[in-house]
Chains A and B, each alone.
Chain A
């Protein structure tokens, strides 16, 4: 749910351009920081894990419009640097399949990578506290999803004035309107009311649905990690061992 399933053209230009710029800067830095000799080993791993995330995103739980992300488990396995690059690749591929807009790739990458990076660190912290896999993985996944969903709602709320403009487009102002500035100019139409964009109602729908999703993904991620722990415990690096 931390994915911004918004089409292109709904978020204000300044917002998605900022998201793209920040993502490009972080992505360029991380891709440049790849040690050349390690590239042939890390790229296939990145590709495979990104593919697992893409497939996870394709399993949708229709009644609550939720799909599992597998970002937290990928974050735990890949580490914070590689998970950012994996989420960037995942968002580009998903956008190419028509799943999410192209212009929101940057914002989607930022919110989704928060989930993976936070999941990785919370997993390490909770492991030191609990020393048991089930509470560690469940809490890490639940909290990572909570934070990324809140950040997604934060991103959506930044475009409030823009949605108001879109809602009041019934008053014709020409075929094209393209603004790069953050400021809102004229009020479009006399009858416009600021309270028409209802973020509280949006949150009242999103949060309970997401809550079910966080629980579900928390349980699924816990089972996955327990499965991996049984077969390949070295991948989890629980004792600080290198894989």
Chain B
């Protein structure tokens, strides 16, 4: 999750051509990638698509730390190879689809600030839903800080030790309990500040 802040930083501070490209064009590009993933059923086609995405990724000079995010879904895709009787072709097809999808979305978010993505989504999705998406995205960063601080405090006080798994489990659970309570407290504060600023059931995004 730490990479998320890099993702945000890259989207705002990046200066490549892809960063400067309109968010609408990039979303259309993502839709085309998605169509390719759904419709392509052969390895060369998917390899070609992956190569294009990789090329764009490195041309956009996105930090390499973010690249590791694209491999995360592979951990779970491994489970689905047991469906296939370990057919190499199916495994390659599955992994390439996973990599194309994850590389596509990570590329989109690493080159486009999220308010712009949500602004375009707001044109065809209900405004309440887009506002909920926006608030969730903001809340992830607020709570990530709380989680990091809690994790740090637990670590410094010896709360996480593999030699004491039960105690560690209790402390991890308490950390999540703390996170939930902080989340509820923050939501009340957010509600008050939104009312103060005249919130009318919709967040307006600035233009590109």
Asked if B190 contacts A220 (CB within 8 A), the reply is: no
Stretch of A56-64, A109-117, A124-132 on the interface side: A56-64
**B123 → chain A closest CB, angstroms:** 16
Asked if B179 contacts A52 (CB within 8 A), the reply is: yes
Contacts of B42 in A (CB 8 A): 169, 172, 175
Asked if B4 contacts A46 (CB within 8 A), the reply is: no
Interface presence of A21 (CB below 8 A)? no
Interface presence of B178 (CB below 8 A)? yes
Asked if B38 contacts A9 (CB within 8 A), the reply is: yes
Contacts of B117 in A (CB 8 A): 96
The tally of CB-CB contacts under 8 A between chains A and B is 247
Contacts of B186 in A (CB 8 A): 44, 48
Contact partner, A31, options B90, B128, B144, Cβ 8 Å: B128
Q: Which residues in window 178-214 of A have CB below 8 A to B?
A: 178, 196-199, 201-202, 204-206, 209
Asked if B83 contacts A197 (CB within 8 A), the reply is: yes
Asked if B181 contacts A47 (CB within 8 A), the reply is: no
Interface presence of A6 (CB below 8 A)? yes
Contacts of A46 in B (CB 8 A): 132, 135-136
**A14 → chain B closest CB, angstroms:** 12
Q: Which residues in window 160-183 of A have CB below 8 A to B?
A: 163, 166-167, 169-170, 172-173, 175-178
**B7 → chain A closest CB, angstroms:** 8
Asked if A206 contacts B79 (CB within 8 A), the reply is: yes
Q: Is the interface of B mostly helix, strand, loop or mixed?
A: helix
Q: Which residues in window 43-86 of B have CB below 8 A to A?
A: 45, 69-70, 72-73, 75-80, 82-85
Asked if A202 contacts B83 (CB within 8 A), the reply is: yes
Asked if A85 contacts B84 (CB within 8 A), the reply is: no
Asked if B177 contacts A224 (CB within 8 A), the reply is: yes
Q: Which residues in window 197-243 of A have CB below 8 A to B?
A: 197-199, 201-202, 204-206, 209, 219-225, 227-228, 231-232, 235
Interface presence of A101 (CB below 8 A)? yes
Asked if B82 contacts A198 (CB within 8 A), the reply is: yes
Contacts of A221 in B (CB 8 A): 173
Contacts of B177 in A (CB 8 A): 223-225, 227-228, 231
Asked if B183 contacts A52 (CB within 8 A), the reply is: yes
Contacts of A7 in B (CB 8 A): 37, 73, 77, 94, 97-98, 100-102
Contacts of A97 in B (CB 8 A): 4, 7, 69, 105-106, 109
Stretch of B12-20, B155-163, B191-199 on the interface side: B191-199
Q: Which residues in window 13-42 of A have CB below 8 A to B?
A: 13, 27-28, 31-32, 34, 36, 39-41
Contacts of A196 in B (CB 8 A): 84-85, 87
Q: Give the interface size bracket for B toward A.
A: 35 or more
How many angstroms between the C-alpha atoms of A198 and B87 in the bound complex? 12
How many angstroms between the C-alpha atoms of A175 and B186 in the bound complex? 51
Q: Interface centre among A7, A32, A156, by most B CB within 10 Å?
A: A7
Interface presence of B22 (CB below 8 A)? no
Asked if B75 contacts A98 (CB within 8 A), the reply is: no
Interface presence of B24 (CB below 8 A)? no
Write the A99-111 contact mask toward B (1 if CB under 8 angstroms, else 0).
1111100000000
Asked if B128 contacts A9 (CB within 8 A), the reply is: no
Interface presence of A93 (CB below 8 A)? yes
Asked if B73 contacts A27 (CB within 8 A), the reply is: no
How many angstroms between the C-alpha atoms of A49 and B4 in the bound complex? 18
Q: List 10 A-B contacts (CB under 8 A).
A: A9-B97, A31-B126, A39-B128, A40-B191, A40-B199, A51-B140, A73-B180, A77-B180, A102-B101, A103-B34
Q: List residues of chain A with CB under 8 Å of any chain B CB.
A: 3, 5-10, 13, 27-28, 31-32, 34, 36, 39-41, 43-52, 54-56, 58, 60, 62, 65, 68, 70, 73, 77, 85, 88-90, 92-93, 95-103, 156, 163, 166-167, 169-170, 172-173, 175-178, 196-199, 201-202, 204-206, 209, 219-225, 227-228, 231-232, 235
Given contacts A55-B147, A93-B133, A197-B83, 15 further A-B contacts (CB under 8 A): A7-B77, A7-B97, A31-B126, A39-B201, A44-B190, A47-B136, A48-B143, A54-B140, A65-B79, A96-B105, A96-B109, A98-B72, A176-B45, A224-B177, A227-B174
